Amino acid sequence: MKSLGRHVLVEFYGCDRDRLNSVELIERSMKEAALNSGATIVESVFHLFNPHGVSGVVVIAESHLAIHTWPEYQYAAVDLFTCGDSVDPWIAFEYLKEALKAETMFTMEMRRGQLHHVEELNYKPVAAAGGMR
């Protein structure tokens, strides 16, 4: 069955508290995870909460990577949503597992945009005369 994208939901447990509370390290790791997976970064925004925790998203041309951390519980929730055939969200997962020093993780992959009526998917349509389709 054809689908527009893959959405990997990740629960990381037993992560390094200091890493989970470093907005600089989280942003750098999320961007590296995106690039390593073959994604094209469009923009990113990250925020450090008081007294602790980081939330952020890397918008990629192929969808997004998002993270929310709870250093006090050594836990991070991560969404890796990629569209097309050129990006592998599992490469991003492996990178982040190491970057956060996660001891335990649970994952679930969903296919998004399952299109029963479409024979061929065109992820990046070419410009038609008079503009984009």
The residues that are catalytic are: 63, 68, 83
Cα distances (angstroms) measured from residue 19 to each of 15, 56, 91, 92, 127? 8, 14, 20, 17, 43
Rounded CA gap, 99 and 27, in Å? 11
Tokens of 75: 């836990």
List the beta strands (DSSP E) in 2-102.
Answer: 3-13, 41-48, 54-60, 63-70, 75-83
CB-neighbour burial class of residue 98 (10 A; exposed 0-12, middle 13-18, buried 19+):
exposed
